[in-house]
Amino acid sequence: MQDAIKLTCLTCGQANRFPFAKLEAGPKCAKCGVLLIGGDVTDLDDLQHDKATRADDLPLIVDYWAPWCGPCRTMAPEFAAAAKALRLSTRFAKIDTEQFPTISQRLQIRGIPLLILYAKGKEVARLSGARPAAGIESFVRQHL
């Protein structure tokens, strides 16, 4: 276990550092005050996406989705439930690939919904297709 944790704020992009012991207390962003680990799914834009996937001390799972995609909308509450369950080990975020098409081009995303798990600034694994919360949780646990 490390002594300090570095986490990018998924809302404003601020790089935060705090002692590992504060993890469960619900650390907040030094700049904008949002909870860094709140068990919520944060909506990313392209800039926050790139910052957050680069090098954080907690793994991040991103849901690549679009408003027109029915299975994506079906999976949203499942993804949110998994985010609560894995609150202290993994952060959850999503990005609208219709609004930010350059992201899907760069990552060569051909079908959505697609989940990509990142750890230490690297892509660890992908899971495509809509999944129940339990399936998302076991996917994350299996790769960390």
Which residue's CB is nearer to Zn ion, number 28 or number 73?
A: 28
**96 in the Ramachandran plot: left (φ > 0), alpha (ψ -120 to 50) or beta?**
beta
Q: Which long-range contacts (CB under 8 A, 24 or more apart) does 130-134 make?
A: 130/71, 130/72, 130/74, 130/75, 130/78, 131/75, 131/78, 132/78, 133/78, 133/79, 133/81, 133/82, 133/85
84 touches Zn ion (CB under 5 A): no
Q: At 80, give phi and psi (nearest 5°).
A: -65, -40
Q: Which stretch binds Zn ion (CB under 5 A): 14-22, 75-83, 106-114, 132-140?
A: 14-22
Catalytic residue ranges: 69, 72
Q: Which of 5, 7, 23, 29 binds Zn ion (CB under 5 A)?
A: 29
14 touches Zn ion (CB under 5 A): yes
How many whole angstroms separate alpha carbon 81 and alpha carbon 132?
A: 9
Q: Which stretch binds Zn ion (CB under 5 A): 26-34, 46-54, 106-114, 116-124?
A: 26-34
Q: Which of 12, 85, 125, 144 binds Zn ion (CB under 5 A)?
A: 12
31 touches Zn ion (CB under 5 A): yes
Count residues binding Zn ion (CB under 5 A): 7
Which residues contact Zn ion by CB under 5 A?
Answer: 9, 11-12, 14, 29, 31-32
